[in-house]
Chains A and B, each alone.
Chain A
Amino acid sequence: MSTLAIELVRRARLRQRSRWTAVTAALAVAAVALCCAMLMLGNTIYPVRDVAAVLLGEEVKGAAFAVRTIRLPRMLAGLFAGFAFGVSGYVFQTMLRNPLANPNVIGITAGSSAAAVFCIVVLQAGRGVTSAAAVIAGLLTVLVIYGLARGRTFSVGRMILVGIGIQAMCNSAITYLLLIAREYQLPAAVRWLTGSLNGIRMEELSWLIASVLIFTPVIVLLSRPLQMLELGEQTAVSLGVRTDRTRVALIVGAVVLSAAATAVTGPIAAVAFLAGPIAVRLAGTARANVIPAGLVGAALVLAADLVGQFAFPVKFPVGILTGIIGAPYLLYLIVRMNRKGEL
């Protein structure tokens, strides 16, 4: 073969790779900037110097309490939950090759939410039990959806439709539980309807952070086989991917991430659904977009929370704002897929 062809390939690849790296770095910078903003902004605006001092353990009058007890947990919850939703959505969308296939739309998040509300309202359980129940319910929901959706051959479209049905059932269960809830339980329980970062305490975050730190590397390690799955089942098998095994590992990772995030913040609407496509559009397909999708998810949640907190006279929970962005995109997608005959 000619050196020219090698050079053309090398250049095409390099261009794609540099774009990916640049976009990922930019997304990381954006996420960090939003994190800083979350710590600085509030009833009182603290300069970077004070925030840094508090984080380093110094006692800065006034700032210490607000930053450490209120803003830091809120920021970390937004960061990790957004990241988890983003990664989880990307994995589902890529693996099932359908932008509608993500934990929000196919009802996994709703399953986790329903279990969490049940734990809070009926069992009056603590955080640990609630989180565990949310994760287990998420996995069970996947099994139920998969079981109902498999006919003679597996179909993603059927899985999405069954998921939408399951989601409706879970949501009605949540509504019922909220109706019978005691008044003091309501603030904690209402979070399960829209998703919110209000009143999250540091000790609630350990599960979520641990899940992200454990499962993100697992998914990154599986991201090359994931890219092959994207080419279709048959191509993936013929390229030597052990598709069943890979799929199960990816599903478990993605479900744990989305359930752990749901257990802390509630189902923040549309983040899992938006993050992947945005990341792919920005970064290209040179590498799997696991990390970019996570960063986009985190940036979306943090930005939406900042807007919800400070842009209007009334404070809105983050899920309402992400929902406002997500709904039109969902409609756009459905119209486009319908035109292409993919629905």
Chain B
Amino acid sequence: MNRHELRAERLVAGYGDRMILDGISLEIPANKISVIIGANGSGKSTLLKALTRIIRPVSGEIRLDGKPLHAYPSKRLARIIGLLPQSPVVPEGITVADLVGRGRFPHQSLFGTWSKKDYEAVAEAMEIMDIANLAHRHVDELSGGQRQRVWIAMALAQQTDILFLDEPTTFLDITYQIEILDLLTDLNRRYGKTIVMVMHDINLSVRYADYLFAMREGRLVAEGRPSEVVTSGLIKDVFGLDAVIVRDPVSGAPSVVPKGRYHNGAGGIASRESGYAADWQAAGQAPKGKAEEGAATVTAVKAGS
């Protein structure tokens, strides 16, 4: 994968007269997994749409390798930046091979004749996503998890160095969520693909991200490595939620345990400000089954919804 520099400067964008992004400047770290987090309406999807030229910024600029995004011919840009939208449309009766093959559009001529490269790219994408044996199946017959793998395979067949995904795990069961996120991590670690995702689940975001962008009301409030930026102060700031930050016993990443009116954590594990709970003593003393249950609950918590 090539290294690309994608930068936004003082980005203002929105829909019609309603501005959502309020002067955002950022640089997407190359060859890393970045996750954009924020409450509903904070502008994270809008930011993703602006960075992938779905919507045009009102002011400010996005530059790819120093050149403004809109100065690129559209097909050339489509060979560098790919996007998997939140709810892509499955045409009725389309087969898996056909749908994945459509990812080759920016590489083909007007007539869409397939070269050897096209076959190889489609086969490789399907193999990575482990759907090669579904090639002839109709997409509308597949399960949600399989379908999402087909869509990611389509985006892979496009062979872009940068891939954006808008909530790739939202409608999936927890098992598929982990499966999809692991596959995306494979892509990043093995091929160096730059991945940028919008995600709802704060704990999965923190676990899988190399780099976090936290948004509130159209502005960037924090960015950096999860272990550096995730604090109860940030969660309060971004989601307006009181939470305790503990250490995810599985990945070692910070993990957000939200408080609420019924569960406010009096006498619980110490918050991040006072350091991680002393080596998870509390969890260690608890019966084993209970500790595992607890970890699973933490992961499944949806923030901001």
Contacts and interface: CB of A to CB of B under 8 A. Distances in A.
Interface residues of B, number: 54
A193 to B, nearest CB: 33
A153 B119 CA distance: 38
Interface stretch (A176-184, A225-233, A296-304): A225-233
A285 B164 CA distance: 27
Main secondary structure of the interface of A (DSSP, over half): helix
A230 B105 contact: no
B112 A224 contact: yes
Nearest to B151: A235
B295 interface: no
Interface string A1-38: 11011101111110110000000000000000000000
B127 interface: yes
A5 B105 contact: no
Nearest to B100: A9
Nearest to B158: A239
Contact of B95 (A16, A152, A235, A238): A16
A234 B198 CA distance: 15
Interface residues of A, number: 38
Contacts of A314: none
Contacts of B95: 12, 16, 284-285
A241 interface: yes
A235 B89 contact: yes
B98 A286 contact: yes
A66 B106 CA distance: 53
Interface stretch (B46-54, B176-184, B200-208): B46-54
Interface in B86-141: 87-89, 91-103, 105-106, 108, 110-112, 114, 119-120, 122-124, 126-127, 132-133, 135-136
Which 4 A-B pairs rank lowest in CB-CB distance, beginning with the nearest?
A: A240-B78, A238-B83, A12-B97, A240-B75
Given A8-B135, A230-B91, A235-B84, 9 more contacts: A8-B132, A8-B133, A9-B135, A12-B136, A228-B102, A237-B53, A237-B83, A240-B75, A285-B92
Interface of A: 1-2, 4-6, 8-13, 15-16, 94, 97, 152-153, 221, 224, 227-228, 230-235, 237-242, 280-281, 284-286
